[in-house]
A = this chain, B = another copy of it.
Amino acid sequence: MAKVMIRQGGRSARIQEAVHKAVRELLGEIDRTEISVPMLAERAGVTPSTIYRRWGDLSEVLADVASERMRPQTEPADTGSALGDVEAWARQYAEEMATPVGRQMYADLFTRSGESAYSCRCCEYTRQQLEILQARALARGEAGFDIGEVEDRVLAPIVYHLLMGDRDVTPDYCTDLVGAVTSLPRP
């Protein structure tokens, strides 16, 4: 079981930080399939049982680190309209996730066969970004838009094609997807 909502104490936070750092280092050095819990424990300076107790298994650790990396660092750009904001956000999302680091994050996030709180956490991050754009639109005096529609019509096809690799997710393609969102107010 993923324990995303765990209360972070001092020791707990230090363990988390050490293990996350060890994962990020190892991912830069070897293939993810070569990483093991004992190897990770040694690098982080904790015992394997600490890792098993806290995360359950290795795939949960990797998903935890990936979801942390997907936390947005900045507010999405303000282009002056909801349509422009969603377009800029979608193009940036696609650009970032098409990189090797972005693809690695998907890989780590979707490796577990069961549902996990970590992928939900990523969904929550993107939803928060869209809520910022929504609030900004309303503050401008624009009509609101349907966040679920943006997820289904813009985000989902971007993620699908990046994962499948069956077509390039170009900036123009992102713009076309955003253009098909019926609830976005036209400037």
- State the A residues within 8 Å of B (CB): 31-33, 57-59, 100, 103-104, 106-107, 109-116, 119-120, 122-124, 151-153, 155-157, 159-161, 163-166, 177
Contact of A111 among B111, B116, B151, B160 (CB under 8 A): B111
Chain A interface main SS type? helix
A126 CB to nearest chain B CB (Å):
9
Contact of A110 with B113 in the complex, beta carbons under 8 Å: no
Contact at B160–A155, with CB atoms within 8 Å?
yes
Which residues of B are found within 8 Å of A119, using beta-carbon distances? Answer: 163-166
Q: Is the CB of B120 within 8 A of A112?
A: no
Q: How far is the CA of A71 from the CA of B158 in the complex (A)?
A: 23
- The smallest C-beta distance from A151 to any residue of chain B, in angstroms, reads 7
The reply to whether A107 and B100 contact each other, CB–CB distance below 8 Å, is no
Given the complex, which residues of B lie within 8 Å of A160, measured CB to CB? 151-152, 155-156, 159-160
A-B contact pairs, 26 of them (CB 8 A): A31-B57, A32-B59, A33-B58, A33-B59, A33-B111, A100-B114, A103-B113, A103-B115, A104-B113, A107-B111, A107-B112, A110-B163, A116-B165, A119-B163, A119-B164, A119-B165, A119-B166, A120-B166, A122-B164, A123-B166, A151-B157, A152-B153, A152-B157, A152-B177, A153-B153, A159-B159
